[in-house]
Each structure stands twice: as structure tokens, then as C-alpha cells.
Amino acid sequence: MTPRFRQLVDRNPSLADHVRTLEYIDFKHTRRGAPGLRRFRRVHSFTLGFKDIDIQRPGRQNWEKLSPSLRQTICSFIQANNIVNLCLRNIKNWPMSLFLHFPALSSLDIYRVGVANSPLPIPRPRAEVSPKLSSLSVGKGSIHTVWDLLGSGRAESGAIIDFTKLRQYPELSCFGNIASALTSGSLQTLKMIRLNPMLQTVEDDPYLHLTKELEAIACKNVLTELFITIEMVTDRACTTDRTKWAQLNRVLSIDNGFPFLRRVEVKIILGFPRYDWNILQWEFHRKIMDIGGSQFLWLLASEQINFTFAVV
């Protein structure tokens, strides 16, 4: 919400009734309120975030240190609108119970967000309805929040969010998370998994153990798309062990394991500049390209699945 737009709404309050998508981004450590938010009653998509003057080492805004007036205004705004899509940016100690005030929420996008059992300046709703998510997108610095939302014991999250309608699984380290978190109901709605690992050493599994999770849900899923983008900053941060790379081809070729799968994309992003490559780095690039052509034979031959392997 820009200052100019805020002025327009102040001059003509009826404009607020036509707004369905609203973004409120403020500076970290702000002490001001946001009285303009009270004018909006029909917003369906809302982004709330905070930015830092220090762009090199940006911090997160502590919800508990916001001014009482701003916290009250945000909570009142949430109560007054039927929000379906929510984006949160750079916030820590976001109150878990606040999600109970989003009964229509179906899409949640979080980036550098942490949750806590913080008290609210508004009463809990009389009828507590857990939002049923169909899409969950998780960015940098929010993996622990996902574990909390999945009820892994890191916070007393309980059943504040319902994942049984989830159609898209977030980007996170997979081992022990996907198969154990998915119910029989969500296995019949989950259609896409997107994984974006950043490899640090040659010991790292290139898929962050996703293949183990896929094997656990084989023959009982409706997965249609799988996107894996693997990033590395040096040629020494990724294994060239062909048996590790071949895991994906092996699991996806399980007989009738993934009958609805139609698209698989594996993309390798090399973080070191090509113009500065030495002989070893060129050799590494060649090995990765060879892996793409030799360790996914079933996927390459499949008439059912559109498979792509790229190194960029």
C-alpha cells in the first residue's frame, strides 16, 4: 500500500470496497500504526511484510515488538476480511492462534517467518475452524515454521492448520517429513512437489532424501508434477556418484507407483561463473551432463512423462 494509494483511499473511502488484493509492507522497527487498513472489508489476498534498511544483513520484525496499535489494527483487519491467500514476509513470533482467524485460507506463502504461542489483542473466534490449505509455499528461513505447522513437536501447534487438502508440497528438507505428514485424504489431493536444495558437500544426498519419501507414497498418490532445482556454489559441493543420482529414476519406475505423473524436471544450477572455470570445473560439468544422459533411462524413454534434465 503506497502513500499515494493511501491518500486516494482517505479522500474517497468507497474505493476500499473494490480492493481484493492488498499488500502492506513496512520498515522493521516501525512504531507507527496503520489506520488505513481499517477501511478495507473485501480483501481476499493479503501480503504482510517488513523490510530492513540494512539490505546486506536484513533482520526479521518481531511481532511482539510491534506497537500495540499496529498489532491491533492488523488483527482487526484480518477479522474484517475473508482472506483466501496470505503472504507473510520477514516476521518472527507470528502468533500461531492467529491462523484460526483465517477460516477461508487456502494458500499460504511464507518467507523468513517464525511462529510462536504469542497472545493476541483480540479474542479467539467462538467457532475455531482450522484453515484447509491447498497450497503451501515456503521460502528461505521458514523450514522450522513448516515443522511447527505440521505439528512435529517444536511448538504446540496442534491442528491449527489442516493439510488434508494440500495440492502442493513446499520446498524443504524431505527426509521423514512428507510421508509421515500426509494423510490418506491429502494423498488424494497432493499433485505437485517442488524441491530446491542447496548442496554444501559431496556427502549431501542430491535429492535431500526425497526419493525415500516418494517410495513411501508409491501406489497411493495422485502426483502429477515433480520439480527439482539443485543449486551449488562450487564443483566440490555436489556428488557425482551415479548410484545416488539414479535413485530418482529407480523410484519413479516402480510399477504403477505414480500412475498420474506427467512431468518431471531436474535442473542443476552452478553458482560459479563459467568464464572463470578451471579444468576440474569443466570436468565436473561434463560428469553432471553424462549423469543426465545415463542415469534417467526409464524417465527418458517414458511416453507418459515429460522429463527434462538441464544444467545452467
| pLDDT for residue 57 | 55
Q: Which residue has the cell 513496512?
A: 26
Q: Global pTM?
A: 0.59
| pLDDT for residue 1 | 65
pLDDT tens, the chain, 312 aa long: 677 777 777 778 888 888 999 998 887 766 666 778 888 999 999 999 988 665 555 678 999 988 888 898 999 999 999 999 999 999 999 998 898 889 899 888 888 888 888 777 777 776 677 788 877 777 665 666 766 766 543 344 445 777 666 665 554 445 455 665 566 666 777 788 877 777 767 777 888 788 888 898 899 888 899 988 888 766 666 788 899 999 999 999 999 999 999 999 999 887 766 666 777 778 888 888 999 999 999 999 999 999 999 988
| pLDDT for residue 252 | 96
Residue pair 137/109 in contact (Cβ under 8 Å)? The answer is yes
- Give the number of other Cβ atoms within 10 Å of residue 21's Cβ: 10
Q: Which three cell numbers, joined as nine digits, stand for 237?
A: 559441493
